[in-house]
Amino acid sequence: MAIIGGGPAGLMAAEILSQRGVKVDVYDSMPSVGRKFLVAGKGGLNLTHSEPFEQFVSRYGSRKKEIEKWLMDFTPDDLREWARGLGIETFVGTSGRVFPVGMKTSPLLRAWLKRLDDLGVTFHLRHKWNGWNADKSLKFETPEGEKSVKADAVVLALGGGSWARLGSDGAWVNWLRQAGVEVEALKPSNCGFDVAWSPHLRERYEGHPIKSVVLSFESFRQRGEFILTKGGVQGSLIYAASALIRDEIEAKGGVVILLDMAPDRSYEWLVEKLSKPRGSRSMASHLEKTAGMKGVKAGLLHEFAPKEDFANVERPASFIKRLPIPLIAPRPLDEAISSAGGVTFESLDENLMIRELPGIFCAGEMLDWEAPTGGYLLTACFASGRAAGESVLKWMESLGTAV
């Protein structure tokens, strides 16, 4: 039994199978497994979310039906219980997001790898899977040269295509397409966007957070914060709207988002304040004193509100409430938190087995679904790894293969 890819999905499949006495070999191209999982813990590992199940599954959008099936067998609460079983307690943060106490991945991953080792799982590191040989054996590139491996069943858990330096480089897309499997092109998900900032704004405000603003775009309206980067915008509020914005850019070639930079103030309140006599104060100083527009928010206002509009007070007030920011393109896939696209659900049977390739199962981010940040990515990866593991057991039993 071969599992290719030692991220959360592959390791979960390895746990399920090895617990039932199957001899499992995990192959990974990197010198150690779980690298993206480790990096996910850098800013605080958001394992899952505590909201009601119905709301939780709605986060998977058009793939809700498929993912709900995995999650019914491994709920967000089951995930917390599983972490507890590895000696890691979790807590619910103020936003409802669930984190391990200590916030980091490393203690959880260490305990998990020890469990897998005790279960007899064998790890083959620096083994890059490069498709199949003519005799249908798996082809690996290793430091000792090319190796072929024959397995009764295979779980592919190769991840998406972002942060390629951590191992998931999306090279598998070619191998699967060549084998006749339908794979949607990988696209950035939870990603930033390019904006053509003026050199002045970029130099002055690169890296500055834009806090407590409301972003509106089509049906999307949410309060939060993001960061002005050298080439555009990134951060949680932008990521939350990113799937919608990405698809619209793909369809129309560019979009304009609207920013309410004073969500606690009404337009009328702003007009009243800005109408106060300015005296000898500059407009910039007047905006700061009366409407609180300073720093990066003032910079954005001057970037996108035409100068002549500052002559009467209604125009700046309306720009503060609805500042248009043109977004040009998504940032490259490699910079994204996750990937959309991947192996389509239509090319799999209900047990995550590739219809064209009996005995080959898929799990994790390499499947064609996406979700916002908030713990939804990892939860679905873990749950799909379990589902793939259970399916392999069923399949082996159906073939009469001894387990």
Ligand X SMILES: Cc1cc2nc3c(=O)[nH]c(=O)nc-3n(C[C@H](O)[C@H](O)[C@H](O)COP(=O)(O)OP(=O)(O)OC[C@H]3O[C@@H](n4cnc5c(N)ncnc54)[C@H](O)[C@@H]3O)c2cc1C
Footprint on this chain of ligand X (rule: CB under 6 A):
4-10, 27-30, 33, 35-37, 39-40, 45-46, 128-129, 157-159, 162-163, 167-168, 171-172, 337-338, 364-365, 375, 377-378, 381
How many angstroms from the chain centroid is the CA of residue 113? 23
Shortest Å, Cβ 34 to ligand X: 6
From the CB of 259, what's the least distance to ligand X, in Å? 25
* Closest distance of CB 30 from ligand X, Å: 4
Shortest separation between residue 199's beta carbon and ligand X, angstroms = 29
Q: How far is the CB of 60 from ligand X (least distance, A)?
A: 12
Residue placing its CB nearer to ligand X in the complex, 35 or 302: 35
What CA–CA distance (Å, rounded) separates 237 from 29?
A: 33
**Do the Cβ atoms of 241 and 257 come closer than 8 Å?**
yes
Nearer to ligand X, 129 or 319 (CB): 129
| Gap between the Cα atoms of 40 and 122, Å rounded | 25
Q: How far is the CB of 352 from ligand X (least distance, A)?
A: 13
Q: Which residues pair with 105 in a beta bridge?
A: none
Sign of CA dihedral 199, 312, 285, 270: negative
CA distance 169 to 30: 11
Minimum Å gap between C-beta 127 and ligand X is 6
- Strands annotated E in 58-175: 90-92, 97-100, 122-124, 128-132, 138-142, 145-149, 154-156
Nearest distance in Å: CB 37, ligand X: 5
Of the pair 323, 378, the CB lying nearest ligand X is at 378
d(CA 393, CA 401): 9
Our CB check for ligand X shows the closer of 316 and 372 to be: 372
d(C-alpha 89, C-alpha 83), whole Å: 7
DSSP element (H, E) containing 212: strand 209-217
Q: Which of residues 31 and 263 has its CB atom nearest to ligand X in the complex? A: 31
User: Which among 260, 262, 263, 242 has a CA at the least distance from the CA of 327?
Assistant: 242
Is the Cβ of residue 231 or residue 364 nearer to ligand X in the bound state? 364
SS3 content of the chain, % helix, strand, coil (to 5): 40, 25, 35
| Residue placing its CB nearer to ligand X in the complex, 91 or 269 | 91
Q: Which is nearer to ligand X, 14 or 353 (CB)?
A: 14
**Under DSSP, is residue 19 helix (H, G, I), strand (E, B) or coil?**
helix
